[in-house]
Chain A
Amino acid sequence: MDTDYQTLQFAYRRSPDQDAAQPPLHPVVVVGAGPVGLATAIDLAQHGVPVVLLDDDCTLSTGSRAICFAKRTLEIFDRLGCGQRMVDKGVSWNVGRVYFHQRQLYAFDLLPEADHARPAFINLQQYYVEGYLAERAIQLNAIALRWRNRVTGIAPQGDHVELTVETPEGPYSLHARYCVVADGSRSPLRKLMGLEARGRTFKDRFLIADVKMRAGFPSERWFWFDPPFHPNQSVLLHRQPDDVWRIDFQLGWDADPELEKQPERVIPRVRAVLGADAEFDLQWVSVYTFSCQRMARFRHGRVLFAGDAAHGVSPFGARGANSGVQDADNLAWKLRFVLQHQADDSLLDSYASEREYAADENILNSTRSTDFITPKTPVSRVFRDAVLGLAENCEFARRLVNSGRLSLPAVLRESPLNTPDTDIFEGALVPGAPCVDAPCVDGARVDAQAVGAQTWLLTVLRGPGFSGLWLIDAADASQGLTSAQCAALAALREGAGKVLSVVLVLPADATEAMRVQVCERARQYGGAAIDVLIDSRGLIAQRYDGRPGSFYLVRPDQHLCARWRQLVVAQVRQALLRACGGAVQAGEVATDAATHDAQHPFQAGVKP
């Protein structure tokens, strides 16, 4: 029988910590088992960091809430081990249509380029997303998931954070080296710490109606400006799994939220969209307002804020849950590197700066969309309608229509972790950008008939540490790598093997003999830490502006942080140090390495 994630309850269980004489010290406590907290905990636990995950409730998301999960989020879920489930259950879509009055102005395709593993978006009710993440978390022994554990006190100390936790059996105390706060837009912990998120609240109300019905609408996003069935306001229609449709009605500021939630008010509105004969059931109704806001800083010592607790946006653009999962993706590897002594604590400052930058970008896009959808003055309404009036026939006006700029991951151009280019590369992929996907063949899994094992680049760039993507020339590959290349591989392994795995990319025209020889060399020089890929369609070279010899350094969260036309091991080491928040002077190692028991990954000398 299928799990009903809407009614699922998780049992409170007493933990040994509640009987401990002294508050136990945990590496990481995550507060809030929503999508962001769960993603953070899973990422940490998958790579060996034990996590205590606290939630004040014992159920998943009430109502469907967030429904649009973007390609980038799905790629992150893939690494967390539950992307396929989400895609299988979700409604995949790439196409949107925009209407003004009764006419279609234009359609757009969010993924105009073929050959990506994941679609631009899936629609999936938040309770499924949380349910699948929770089930994944429960599989991991390194996660202690504690339901009905409500944090009532937080006291940052010098080298840890003290938490007081209320349970059905009374309170207990916990200590954490780091505390991740992902407890939602109203964030009780933010309040406990006397902090606030600031920004703009918009004077408009929206009605969400999730209705269950059999309908012939395609899996697309339809947005109406001022349609005849809902005059002077906007309407958004989206398909979700289980024959559920999301209809979002703009109501205006003067609408009475209590009154508008009543079925006798909602049903005629829905019928106006779907037609008089439509048969449907209301599943969930909500009237909401929203703010665009963020905390001034996402890092407060050992307390790190993520997701809605740190920043809020309007729903147009699907930038809430998606950006929260990207926060988790950014934070988890950095926390792990710090806790496992592979980077200094200062690396966590880059979590704050990178994700504050991303939040500003999301807030800017979301604010602009909202200002377009809800004109604030008569003159802005005139311009809005002029743009819509021209959009059907004029391409330039279509670019100005803004029904939501849909979530794209931030390009962290200004990140201190990037090594600026010294060589010339073309295209949109720049240091700081998330890596783009491409189909390829896993060279090690090619069978005797040379039938390749089809895979995706992002499946291979999966860490746990950094990846070095290296494009090999067919001429070199014919010898099974040159001696200089072998020396470089050995030096990389020696100098950074703990945090760097290498991915050798052979061109599509590489012969079987080359593949065998390169795989053999890879085994010899890198063991399991070297993958061999065949760029079977030439799309890696195309999308990365790659040439034989190009080398790309990729972070554990799959953001590109450095690239060169030729591999120079010393440059890679410096770029790695920089990407771990360390100093970048030649020959220098991270300064706190000596204070830890574990060997620092960059201490080992590099052979010339």
Chain B
Amino acid sequence: MSTNLRTDARLSDPDGFYEALIGLHQDLSESQSQQVNARLILLLSNQIGDCAVLREAMQLARAGVLST
């Protein structure tokens, strides 16, 4: 398995980040929230740039949902 994707703790202020993430969705409808999430993923993907890393993240995200 590739080890390009980093899952160690890198966020400098995890609680502050999470609060901002939830706050981002304040007063949005469910479909609006989905739009915001999709746009955010696209923006962050572009920021990451490395397609190998992104594929790895996609796999990990999907595998976790299928197993539950």
B4 interfacial contact with A, CB 8 Å: no
Contacts of A365 in B (CB 8 A): 15
A158 interfacial contact with B, CB 8 Å: no
Cβ–Cβ contact A379 & B33, under 8 A: yes
Cβ–Cβ contact A395 & B19, under 8 A: no
Cβ–Cβ contact A383 & B64, under 8 A: no
Cβ–Cβ contact A393 & B30, under 8 A: no
Given A372-B18, A402-B18, the answer on whether A379 and B30 have CB atoms closer than 8 Å is yes
Contacts of A399 in B (CB 8 A): 9, 11, 14
Contacts of B18 in A (CB 8 A): 368, 372, 383, 387, 400, 402
A405 interfacial contact with B, CB 8 Å: yes
Interface residue tally on B, bucketed by range = 20 to 34
Cβ–Cβ contact B25 & A379, under 8 A: yes
Within 8 A of B (CB), among A298-339: none
B21 interfacial contact with A, CB 8 Å: yes
Cβ–Cβ contact A389 & B65, under 8 A: yes
Contacts of A396 in B (CB 8 A): 6-11, 14
Given A378-B30, A379-B25, A399-B14, the answer on whether A393 and B19 have CB atoms closer than 8 Å is no
- Alpha-carbon gap, A390 to B14, bound state (A): 15
- Alpha-carbon gap, A501 to B37, bound state (A): 59
Contact among A368, A387, A398 with B19 in the assembled complex (CB-CB below 8 Å): A368
Cβ–Cβ contact B64 & A395, under 8 A: no
- Alpha-carbon gap, A380 to B22, bound state (A): 6
Contacts of A379 in B (CB 8 A): 22, 25, 28, 30, 33, 37
For residue A380, which residue of chain B has the nearest CB?
A: B22
- Alpha-carbon gap, A396 to B8, bound state (A): 5
Contacts of B2 in A (CB 8 A): none
Cβ–Cβ contact B25 & A389, under 8 A: no
A377 interfacial contact with B, CB 8 Å: yes
A385 to chain B, nearest CB (A): 9
Contacts of B14 in A (CB 8 A): 396, 399-400
Cβ–Cβ contact A383 & B8, under 8 A: no
Contacts of A372 in B (CB 8 A): 18
B3 interfacial contact with A, CB 8 Å: no
Contacts of B15 in A (CB 8 A): 365, 368, 400, 402, 405
Cβ–Cβ contact A377 & B7, under 8 A: no
A371 interfacial contact with B, CB 8 Å: yes
B25 to chain A, nearest CB (A): 5
Given A379-B30, A389-B68, A399-B14, the answer on whether A371 and B22 have CB atoms closer than 8 Å is yes
Chain A residues within 8 Å of chain B by Cβ, number = 22
A378 to chain B, nearest CB (A): 6
- Alpha-carbon gap, A397 to B19, bound state (A): 14
B40 to chain A, nearest CB (A): 11
Cβ–Cβ contact A383 & B21, under 8 A: yes
A394 interfacial contact with B, CB 8 Å: yes
- Alpha-carbon gap, A405 to B18, bound state (A): 14
Cβ–Cβ contact A395 & B30, under 8 A: no
For residue A393, which residue of chain B has the nearest CB?
A: B7
- Alpha-carbon gap, A397 to B61, bound state (A): 12
Contact among B6, B22, B25, B64 with A390 in the assembled complex (CB-CB below 8 Å): B64
- Alpha-carbon gap, A227 to B10, bound state (A): 29
Contacts of B11 in A (CB 8 A): 396, 399-400
Q: Mark B27-68, 1 if CB is under 8 A from A, else 0.
A: 010100100010000000000000000000000100011001
Cβ–Cβ contact A377 & B25, under 8 A: yes
A82 to chain B, nearest CB (A): 34
B8 to chain A, nearest CB (A): 5
B45 to chain A, nearest CB (A): 17
Contacts of B19 in A (CB 8 A): 368, 371
Contact among B9, B25, B60, B64 with A398 in the assembled complex (CB-CB below 8 Å): B9
For residue A372, which residue of chain B has the nearest CB?
A: B18
Within 8 A of B (CB), among A396-455: 396-400, 402, 405
B4 to chain A, nearest CB (A): 14
- Alpha-carbon gap, A472 to B17, bound state (A): 44
For residue A100, which residue of chain B has the nearest CB?
A: B68
- Alpha-carbon gap, A395 to B30, bound state (A): 29
- Alpha-carbon gap, A368 to B14, bound state (A): 11
For residue A385, which residue of chain B has the nearest CB?
A: B68
B62 to chain A, nearest CB (A): 11
A535 to chain B, nearest CB (A): 33
For residue A392, which residue of chain B has the nearest CB?
A: B64
Contacts of A371 in B (CB 8 A): 19, 22
Contacts of B60 in A (CB 8 A): 390, 394
A260 to chain B, nearest CB (A): 28
Contacts of B37 in A (CB 8 A): 379
Cβ–Cβ contact B7 & A394, under 8 A: yes
A154 to chain B, nearest CB (A): 38
Contacts of A405 in B (CB 8 A): 15
Contacts of B8 in A (CB 8 A): 395-396
Q: Contacts A379-B37, A383-B21, A387-B18 known; list 18 others, CB within 8 Å.
A: A368-B18, A368-B19, A372-B18, A378-B30, A378-B33, A379-B25, A380-B25, A389-B68, A390-B64, A395-B9, A396-B9, A396-B11, A399-B9, A400-B11, A400-B14, A400-B15, A402-B18, A405-B15
Binding site for B on A (CB under 8 A): 365, 368, 371-372, 377-380, 383, 387, 389-390, 393-400, 402, 405
25 A-B pairs, CB-CB below 8 angstroms?
Answer: A368-B19, A371-B22, A377-B25, A378-B33, A379-B22, A379-B25, A379-B30, A379-B37, A380-B22, A383-B18, A389-B64, A389-B65, A390-B7, A390-B64, A395-B9, A396-B9, A396-B10, A397-B7, A399-B9, A399-B11, A399-B14, A400-B15, A400-B17, A400-B18, A402-B15
